[in-house]
Amino acid sequence: MIIFKSINKLNKEVNFKANIGFVPTMGALHKGHISLIKSSKLKCEKTLVSIFVNPSQFNKTNDYKKYPRQMSKDIKILKKLKIDYLLIPKINEIYKNKKNMKIKIDKKDKILCAKFRTGHFEGVLAVIKQFLTYIKSKYMFLGEKDYQQIYLIKKFINNKFKTKIVSCKTIRLKNSLPHSSRNFLLSKDEIIKASLVTKIIKKFYFSCKKNFKNLKKTNDLKKKIESKKIKVEYLEARNKINLSKKIKKSNFKIFISFYINNIRLIDNF
């Protein structure tokens, strides 16, 4: 594994004409990230992983500071996985000025997480633009836990970059909760509490697949979760293709954002 601390050096020394898979991460690696890396290793000749806690996608400074960081542990995990390249860039190299730190998104896309996390996806798209300007990978691997993120990245890079997005299934704990770097900020009891939300949403999703009319009970479900002293930010059914509200039994997906002790978690089914 070759470690690069400069994106310019990486661009000069890596042959991007080869079949290279790119897995962008913010570190605090877990089984979800490992699944993305394994998918890349199966599909591509070489695999590049980045670790960069992107400041422009945090709408709260405190959230950025509290985001879990475990670089030594992450490097050990990546060495064990035998990836080819690791990029750990510096902020001032990724963003040479503040103008580069945000990409505007359409008003119609300011839904779900984009509605409640002002500037979040604008920051995500900005870092993806900076990465793909230098990293000419054939594929980029992203997890479906961040479903809206994948949708917006695909929309943004279309006709701008040749890199193709590979969407990978959400990897979950035995209790159904999706793996997330933010889980490291939760206690065991809080993990159990969070998993309860996932189980409720999963059960509701399958009941709606059987009887689509059950979707009318979404507000009742929200109240049920909140009765357990869990703050629900949003709970919505959306079209899984374009995230519109034009849904039917064959194309709906349920999205939720909720808080466990001030830690924001998301899920979808």
One-letter amino acid of 188: K
Residue 30 is among the residues annotated as catalytic for this protein:
no
- How far is it, in rounded angstroms, from Cα 175 to Cα 183? 13
Q: Can you tell me which residue has the tokens 């374009």?
A: 242
- How far is it, in rounded angstroms, from Cα 211 to Cα 230? 27
82: tokens are: 């035998």
Where residue 192 falls (left for φ over 0; alpha for ψ -120 to 50; beta otherwise) is alpha
Q: Which of 30, 33, 120, 179 is catalytic?
A: 33
- How far is it, in rounded angstroms, from Cα 223 to Cα 231? 10
Among 131, 133, 68, which residue's Cα sits nearest to residue 141? 131
Residue 247 three-state SS: coil
Catalytic site residues?
A: 33
